Amino acid sequence: MKPRYLFIGFLCIMLFFSCITNTRKEIASYDLFVDKSIAEYPDTSFFSEIRCMQYYNNCIYTMDVSRRDIAVLDTGFNEIRVIGRGGNGPGELTAPISFYICADSVYVVDGGTGRISTFLNESYIGSTPIDRALDKRFFYREGEFFVPQKSPRGLFLTKFKDRSDSCSYYGDLEKVGNEMRTVTMNGRDLLFAKDCFISVPDALPFIEKYDIKTKKLIQKYDLSGIEVFKNNIDFILKKDIRSDKSYYVLTRDSYGIDGHVFLLCSNYGDDYKARTIVRVSLYPEMKVIATYTLPADYYNSICVSKTHIYAFNALEAKIESFRYEF
């Protein structure tokens, strides 16, 4: 059976169940406006391609893949310092693709070396080998890395930072056609959320909650009835997906903060856009409580505090901040 029809069957099932599990009531909608923006470093070089952002201790950490470093900005965009630098030597970053901050340590996945480099107080501490690094969000808790995978062995792996033994795989892939198609469609962000963590697919219209101790699935929440997802699915169903390795991105980026997950969504139509953010409350049960529309057409990375949403405007190559109510 062709990939197109296998994928259509999967989406039709999701749409059917969305009639039962989703409702549009109690979903607030907001248009956001730029509060502040910044487009260049202190040395007057410009931002190029920011792929990952994190808010931590009143600062915004950003990773520009072209510069191969982590820039740290204050919330007023007044000061910038840099962690790491590009290169092939010890402590240098060859091809950074994602990062995470925990207890003042910055962990950077380097796709060029297949390792996670650790920085503390801007100094390189060491690195941990990792299997099949992806440009997806990962996290670190109590000595253990939780890293997304695209593998028949599982959705994600865990590995202890200070141990050289093999990693462990967990999570069942969502079956979408043949094995190649299934692996292709199961890219995920992993977001830490207190006593659990959240799996956010980039190509499938749902999110999942996992127990952080047992690594077992707790809840799966269908998003296909939410307007932006429904519109995108309607668009995709009209297209001919010819390759098992090709897919449409539904969620460009995701971010978790204090029991909420923010999803930066694609907007398919005559022109591709990515400007809608869907906010999901995690407790007591997962549900969508708000959507936000950003003013420019294309953003590719976000991070969130309790007062602002920060997003990289990819068309104008600048970081923008937006005030909102948590």
Q: Which residue's entry shows tokens 């708000």?
A: 290
Tell me which residue of 138, 102, 97, 101 sits closest to 114, measured CA to CA.
97
Tell me which residue of 190, 222, 188, 192 sits closest to 202, measured CA to CA.
188
Strands 28-31 and 287-293: parallel
Structural domains in the chain, sorted by start: 3-323 (2.120.10.30)
Which SS3 state, helix, strand or coil, does residue 136 take?
coil
- Can you read off the two tokens belonging to residue 87? 């290169």
What is the Cα–Cα distance from 172 to 139, expressed in whole angstroms? 19
Residue 4: phi, psi to the nearest 5? -55, -45
pLDDT of residue 23: 47
**Residue type, position 205, single letter:** P
pLDDT of residue 68: 93
Angle of helix 227-237 versus helix 3-21 axis, rounded to 10: 150
pLDDT of residue 69: 92
> Does the reported pTM lie above 0.75?
yes
Which SS3 state, helix, strand or coil, does residue 114 take?
coil
Mean pLDDT per 10-residue section of the chain, whose length is 326 residues = 50 50 72 95 84 96 92 89 91 95 96 94 92 90 94 92 82 92 94 95 97 96 97 94 91 98 97 98 95 98 98 96 96
